[in-house]
């Protein structure tokens, strides 16, 4: 199994225990809301990265057009 950053090697039983603890802490109704918020955050991050990449690639072209 792969080794994660600080967790070492995690097996299937450890993942099940972690999932159960999360379910107990947040409840069944809150987990979809949390995942929806996480998904929106990831989408926003990706959109920001695309904007930065677009700005970086357009900037050299503008400099060439001015010369």
User: What are 8-37's pLDDT values in tens digits?
Assistant: 777 889 889 988 898 888 888 888 888 899
Coil, strand or helix at 35:
helix
pLDDT at position 55: 87
CB 46 within 8 A of CB 39: no
Confidence check: pLDDT of 49 > 90: yes
Rounded to 5 degrees, what angle do the CA atoms 58, 64, 67 make?
145
The reported pTM is 0.52
Q: Using an 8 Å Cβ cutoff, are 1 and 8 in contact?
A: no
At 30-44, the pLDDT tens digits run 888 888 999 999 999
Domains identified in the chain, total number: 1
Q: In the predicted model, what is the mean pLDDT of residues 55-66?
A: 72
Name the more confident of 49 and 29: 49
Measured distance CA(26)–CA(19) in Å, rounded: 11
Q: Show the beta-strand stretches assigned E in the chain.
A: 3-4, 8-9
**Which residues constitute the domain of residue 19?**
3-66
């Amino acid at each position: 199994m792969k080794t994660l950053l600080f967790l070492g090697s995690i097996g299937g039983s450890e993942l099940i225990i972690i999932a159960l603890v999360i379910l107990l802490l947040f409840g069944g109704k809150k987990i979809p809301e949390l995942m929806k918020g996480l998904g929106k955050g990831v989408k926003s991050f990706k959109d920001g990265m695309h904007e930065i990449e677009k700005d970086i690639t357009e900037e050299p072209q503008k400099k060439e057009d001015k010369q």
